[in-house]
Amino acid sequence: MGSRSRIIGCGSYLPEKILTNDELAIAVDTSDEWITARTGIKRRHIAGEGEFTSDLAHQASIRALENAGIKATDLDLIIVGTTTPDETFPATAVTLQGRLGLQGGAAFDVQAVCSGFIYGLSIVDSMLRSGQVETALVVGAETMSRILDWEDRATCVLFGDGAGAVVIKAENGVAETTETPGILSTHIHSDGQLRDLLYCDGGPSTTGNAGVVKMMGKEVYKHAVTNLTDVVVEALAANSLQPEDIDWLVPHQANRRIIDSTIKKLGLAEDKVVMTIADHANTSAASIPLALDAALSDGRIQSGDLILMEAMGGGLTWGAAIVRW
Ligand code: ACO
């Protein structure tokens, strides 16, 4: 008998304002046709003036807590995966903790860009299973629109804003089989040699401002397909599972072509993939919990399903998690 970290609630939030490809094409030299063909993106949500990452995180968290049927005061850990924190400090997780009315427990941010949610899951899983905490909130929240160069058509068309959150609880005295509900395993990686492929050209210690996203798109694309395929193979092997055992792949939504190439390499069926890229664009750390919530809300993900999540982002960082629902 052992312990398992079980996801007991999920919630998400998207800002009201929607920016379509056609609207974007008025200000930037691009077209709906180019963006759709290259990325699968049709529209993205953009945070309103005065709406911050912590606001999106707060809304998603309230919904996740409600869905889990627990009170905020039951939480003893909050992790926010974000690359667009409200401020340099305190952590957005601490701001969220305050907004949820909490004074106890621990709260911190994880900076792993688009892999932030998977990194957060990995940390929480270790902390829950080691008995350090009992109930945790993992949030992915981003206002990517604030760190885009809106004159760089190669990057500004790709991203959107949003937040997603899950509540995770330790379950002790359970059999550690692949059939037992909860996180089966997590796998995280990074390669600092590749930092210049995708980065934000500002920061408190360098320019003093937040900077904007810089990306070598083709290189990132190649590494994404290779690394995501490798980490999925690693995650399946760690649990002696086969691709056909997966009920739902919930991938980071960076680009439809990256997802299509990855599933082709793995031999995964397209109808087992949760795809939100058309409506959300790339919301970085928020994209997986947003997609997860979409597939839970419409009833696609059912109790007992095997869920595989994977992500890659700036760093480069990448990772995967396998969950029995
Ligand atoms: N609209 C119209 N034309 C454009 C646009 C645009 N928005 N952006 C670039 N172009 C032009 C370029 O200027 C270039 O023109 P040229 O041939 O006259 O020089 C042409 O389109 C081709 O540009 P490429 O950069 O070679 O286009 P590519 O086919 O590589 O597609 C893309 C670009 C979509 C960014 C692709 O490289 C990609 O998806 N990369 C992965 C990046 C990614 O998803 N990053 C997200 C963060 S990382 C992650 O989350 C995994």
Predicted pLDDT of residue 29: 96
Q: DSSP states of 165-205 as a string?
A: EEEEEEEEEE--STTSSEEEEEEEEE-GGGGGGEEES--TT
Q: What pLDDT is stored for residue 254 in this prediction?
A: 95
Chosen domain end from 174, 190, 224? 174
Choose the residue to mutate in 117, 221, 282 for probing ligand 1, maximizing ligand atoms within 8 Å of C-beta: 221
162 and 224 co-located in one domain: no
Task: Tell whether ligand 1 has an atom less than 6 A from the beta carbon of residue 83.
Answer: no
Domain assignment of residue 159, given as a range:
2-174
CA distances from residue 4 to 141, 174, 175, 233, 315 in whole angstroms, order as listed: 25, 7, 9, 22, 30
Q: What is the pLDDT of residue 199?
A: 98
Q: Show which of 174, 202, 231 is a domain's final residue.
A: 174
Task: Please tell me the predicted confidence (pLDDT) of residue 1.
Answer: 83
Single residue among 126, 153, 174 that ends a domain in this structure: 174
Say what the pLDDT of residue 151 is: 96
User: Number of structural domains, the chain?
Assistant: 2
**Helix (DSSP H) and strand (DSSP E) numbers for the chain:** 10, 13
Could you tell me if 298 and 253 lie in one domain? Answer: yes
Q: Which residue's CA is the closest to the ligand 1 atom numbered 48?
A: 313
Q: What are the mean pLDDT values of the chain's consecutive 10-residue runs (325 residues total)? A: 95 98 96 97 98 98 98 97 98 98 96 98 97 97 98 97 98 94 98 98 97 96 95 97 96 95 90 97 98 98 98 97 98
Catalytic residue IDs: 114, 252, 282
Q: Could you tell me whether strands 135-143 and 77-81 are parallel, antiparallel, or unpaired per DSSP bridges?
A: parallel
List, for residues 121-138, the tens digit of each pLDDT value.
999 999 999 999 999 999
Protein residue with its CA nearest to atom 13 in ligand 1: 154
Distance CA 8, CA 136 (A): 10
pLDDT at 194: 97
Q: Are residues 149 and 190 in the same domain?
A: no
pLDDT in the model for residue 266:
87
Q: How far is CA 286 from the centre of its chain?
A: 4
**39 Cβ inside 6 Å of ligand 1:** yes
> pLDDT digits over 159-191, tens only?
999 999 999 999 999 998 999 999 999 999 999
